[in-house]
A = this chain, B = another copy of it.
Amino acid sequence: MPLRPSITGRRQALLLAGALLAAPRVLWAQAADPLPSWSPGPRRQALLDFVASVTTEGGPGFVPPAERIAVFDNDGTLWVEQPIYTQLTFILDRIRALAPRQPEWQQDPLFRAAIAGDMRGVAAGGTEGLLRLAGAAQAGTSPEEFQRIAAAWLAATRDRRWGRLHTELVYAPMLEVLALLRANGFTTFIVSGGGVEFVRAFSERVYGIPPHQVVGSSFALAPGEADGRIVLTREPRVDFIDDGPGKPVGIARHIGKRPIAAFGNSDGDWHMLRYATEGPGRRLGMIVRHDDAEREYAYDRQSHVGRLARALDEAPARGWHVISMRDDWGRIFPHG
């Protein structure tokens, strides 16, 4: 809150006071339904109960604001991940564009599959293969330049099924959860298996999550100089894989506190969900289950993208809430 010594402090204070006194009814109306895209039911109630519990001073579940850390997987939890990860579409577009200058790529089955658009061949490489492609597609640029390339691609590339920008295919109910938590003193983080710079290219604008609150997989950065300036260059070498058991490690390294709430949608989030919900005191673990083929997609155990089996099976015993997109979400996307 801007109540510290400030050059513009007094003006801000008066504007703020005026705004608050003028609009109590608006605030009250919003407070009455912070989750308008959620259907009434146990999942919506679990969210509201959790927030009420950890914010009630003197109550048994109270958590001080500094400890209110919430982590969110990105692909399949905050935005669409089918039929293939958006970042993979981006990487394949880049690989195809760069391929004429890299004839040696034709010797590598993984790259041949990528250039040919053979998704099965690409998927066979697993997360490590994806990151190898990602490294090759993105090496040689600075982090800032890479974020610009990614942002330009996101501003120009549309999903085939809906004809919309990928950044429009975010889940409205989850945007409401982010806003609800932040309004109640939480700090919200993305903890993604995807490359951290790619997510940072849109997280602030789309989710209200600044780059420093994005944890993800990363490539090595080489420090150097060019034209009398320090230049950092992305190397095609994977530095850290923020998936599965890597997620708690990424959280500890980057956030430095154990989250009290975690949201995921696949077995890649199983470790993160456990890490968050195994701590003491009131905890919340939620899994987005994709069971709505009509409005989005329906997949779980058999999917090669966002496979969900173990986390689903163990959810009841671990107290994790399984969100049904079909039943719990009145709308899926911000555009309706």
Interface-central residue, A6, A184, A204, A248, by most chain B CB under 10 Å: A6
A255 within 8 Å of B (CB atoms): yes
Complex Cα distance, B229 from A84, in Å, reads 32
Complex Cα distance, B12 from A20, in Å, reads 10
A24 within 8 Å of B (CB atoms): yes
A210 within 8 Å of B (CB atoms): yes
Complex Cα distance, B7 from A50, in Å, reads 11
Q: Closest Cβ of chain B: how far from A199's Cβ, in Å? A: 9
The interface-forming segment of A26-34, A87-95, A132-140 is A26-34
Complex Cα distance, B254 from A3, in Å, reads 28
Majority SS at the chain A contact face: helix
Query: Which residue from B33, B187, B223, B248 sits with its C-beta under 8 Å from A223?
Result: B248
Assess whether B256 is in contact with A214, with CB atoms less than 8 Å apart.
yes
Per-residue CB contact flags for chain A residues 225-262 toward chain B (1 = under 8 Å, else 0) read: 00001101000000000000110110011111110000
Residue pairs across A and B with Cβ atoms less than 8 A apart, 13 shown, are A3-B27, A5-B34, A5-B180, A6-B34, A7-B31, A7-B183, A9-B27, A14-B24, A187-B212, A211-B255, A212-B256, A221-B253, A232-B248
- For A10, what are the chain B residues with a Cβ–Cβ distance below 8 Å? 24, 27-28, 31
- For A16, what are the chain B residues with a Cβ–Cβ distance below 8 Å? 1, 16-17, 20
Using CB atoms, name the residue of chain B closest to A219: B253
Assess whether A230 is in contact with B278, with CB atoms less than 8 Å apart.
yes
Among all A-B residue pairs, the 8 with the closest Cβ atoms? A211-B256, A6-B183, A4-B183, A5-B30, A5-B34, A223-B245, A17-B20, A9-B31
A289 within 8 Å of B (CB atoms): no
Residues on A lying within 8 angstroms of B by beta carbon are: 1-10, 13-14, 16-17, 19-21, 24, 27-28, 30-31, 33-34, 48, 51-52, 55, 66, 143-144, 147, 176, 179-180, 182-185, 187, 189, 196-197, 200, 204, 210-214, 218, 221, 223, 229-230, 232, 245-246, 248-249, 252-258, 271, 274-275, 278
Using CB atoms, name the residue of chain B closest to A55: B8
- For A3, what are the chain B residues with a Cβ–Cβ distance below 8 Å? 19-20, 27, 183
- For A271, what are the chain B residues with a Cβ–Cβ distance below 8 Å? 223, 230
Beyond A4-B179, A230-B248, is A212–B212 a contact (Cβ under 8 Å)? yes
- For A253, what are the chain B residues with a Cβ–Cβ distance below 8 Å? 196, 218, 221
List 20 additional A-B contacts (Cβ < 8 Å) besides A6-B31, A196-B253: A1-B2, A2-B183, A3-B27, A5-B179, A5-B183, A6-B183, A7-B48, A7-B52, A7-B180, A8-B55, A9-B28, A10-B28, A143-B252, A187-B210, A210-B256, A211-B255, A212-B255, A230-B271, A232-B249, A254-B254
Using CB atoms, name the residue of chain B closest to A176: B5
Complex Cα distance, B221 from A271, in Å, reads 15
Assess whether B34 is in contact with A7, with CB atoms less than 8 Å apart.
yes
Using CB atoms, name the residue of chain B closest to A246: B223
- For A24, what are the chain B residues with a Cβ–Cβ distance below 8 Å? 10, 13-14
